[in-house]
Amino acid sequence: MELKKSLIEEIHSIINNSQARAIRSVDTERVHMYWQIGKVIFEEEQQGKDRAEYGDFLIRKLSEVLVLRYGTGFSYRQLNLFRQFYRVFPIVNALRSQFSWTHYRTLIRIDNQDKREFYISEAVKNNWTARQLERQINSQLFERLLLSNDIQSVLAVAREEKQPVDAKEIIKDPMVLEFLGLKREAAYYEKDLENAIITHLHDFILELGNGFTFVSRQKRINIDGDEFYIDLVFFNRLLQSFVLIEIKTAKLNHQDIGQLQMYVNYYDRFEKEDFENPTIGILLCTDKNDAVVKITLPENNNNIIASKYQLYLPTEKQLIDEVKKRIENLDTELDEKNKENI
C-alpha cells in the first residue's frame, strides 16, 4: 500500500506552518526582550544624567558582564541599539507583531520621524520582509515620492487615510531597477529590458508601488488593420484604472509620447469599463526633457507620465540635485508666465 499524496502534503503543510509560527513567536519574544533591556538601560542612564559620561560607562560595563555569560549578541554596539530602540519606540503596545528585530534595527537608523512613519506604514500595509524594507529605504523611496508630492499627501496615502486620485501620488520618478542585474554602462534593447522585468516581475511590482496587478506583455491591439503592441499592461486597484507601460532605452521624444497617447485612447474607448477610471500611460525611459513632455501633452494632462529609470541605487545627493533642477524649471515657468501677464 502507498500513502495518499494529499495526506503527505497536508502533514507537510501542518509542520511548515507550525515551524513558521514558532519562528515568529521566538522573534517576537526577542524583540520584546531587546525593548525591555533598552528601557532599563535608558531609565538607569537618566538617573545619572548629571554625569555626561555615565551612559557610555554604563553600557560598556554592562556589555562586559553580559558578553561573558550570553555571548556577542550583547556587545557594546548591540546594547546601544537596544537603548536607541526604546528611545525611538517608547510605547511597547505600538510595536508591530509582524516586524522582526531586523525590521526595527533598520527603522531606528532613520532620523526623520515623518520618513520613519512612512516606511512603517508601507511595510505594514504591503507586508514587506526586512530585506524589502531595507531595499526601499536604500532606493530612497520616500524622497522619490516627495519629488512630485508634499509630505502630508505622501503620509496620508501611506496611512490609508486617503485613496490616491492622481497617478503621480504613487508612481515614482525616477524608478530604480537595480534588481534587474543589468550593467548601467551597457547598451540594451527595449526587448532585453522587458525580458528582465518579466523575470523579476515581483520586484518590479514592488517598485511600481501599491495596488498593481500584472495583466499582459506585448498586448496586441488592432486599429483598422494596423497592429500595435503595448509593452506591459497592469491594473491598479487603488486608482481603479489600467496602466500601460512603454519602455524606451533612449531619450524620450514627442513621437514616443504620441504613440503612448494613442494606446491610452484605445484602452479608454475599447477596453475600459464604465465604472473604471481613465487609463494611465507610463513612458519608462533613460532620459527625458520635461519641457518637451509638458509641451507635447495637454495642459490638463493627468494620465501620461514620463518616468526615468536607472539601473543603480540613487544617492541622497542625486535626489537633492534632481529636486533643485525641478525647482529651477518651475521658477523659469513662473517667470515666463509673469512676463506674459505684463
Report which secondary-structure segment, H or E, holds 76: helix 76-88
| Residue 326 domain flag | yes
- The mean pLDDT value for 206-235 works out to 94
- The residues that bridge with 226 in the sheet, in sequence order, are 223
Q: Does the model's pTM come out above 0.85? A: no
Domain that holds residue 186: 170-311
Predicted confidence at residue 261, as pLDDT, reads: 94
Query: What average pLDDT score do residues 291-317 get?
Result: 83
Which is nearest to 103 in space by CA: 151, 16, 88? 88
**Domain match, 118 and 26 both:** no
Both 158 and 177 in one domain: the answer is no
- Name the region of 287 (left: φ>0; alpha: ψ -120 to 50; beta: rest): beta
Sign, CA dihedral 103-105-106-112, equals positive
Instruction: Write out the three cell numbers for 188.
Output: 540594451
Note the pLDDT of residue 168. 82
d(CA 295, CA 313): 30
For residue 97, being part of any structural domain is answered with no
Greater pLDDT, 126 or 299: 126
Whether 139 and 253 map to the same domain: the answer is: no
Q: What single-letter amino acid sits at 14?
A: I
Task: Indicate if the pLDDT at residue 341 is higher than 90.
Answer: no
Query: What does the DSSP assignment read for 191-236?
Result: HHHHHHHHHTHHHHHHHH-TTEEEEEEEEEEEETTEEEEEEEEEEE
- pLDDT, one tens digit per residue, over 31-77 is 999 999 999 999 988 876 667 678 888 899 999 999 999 999 999 99
Predicted pLDDT at 220: 96
**Spatial contact of 268 and 281, defined as CB atoms under 8 Å apart:** no
**pLDDT at 327 > cutoff 70:** no
Residue 96 lies in a domain: no
Q: How many helices (H) and strands (E) does the chain have?
A: 13, 6
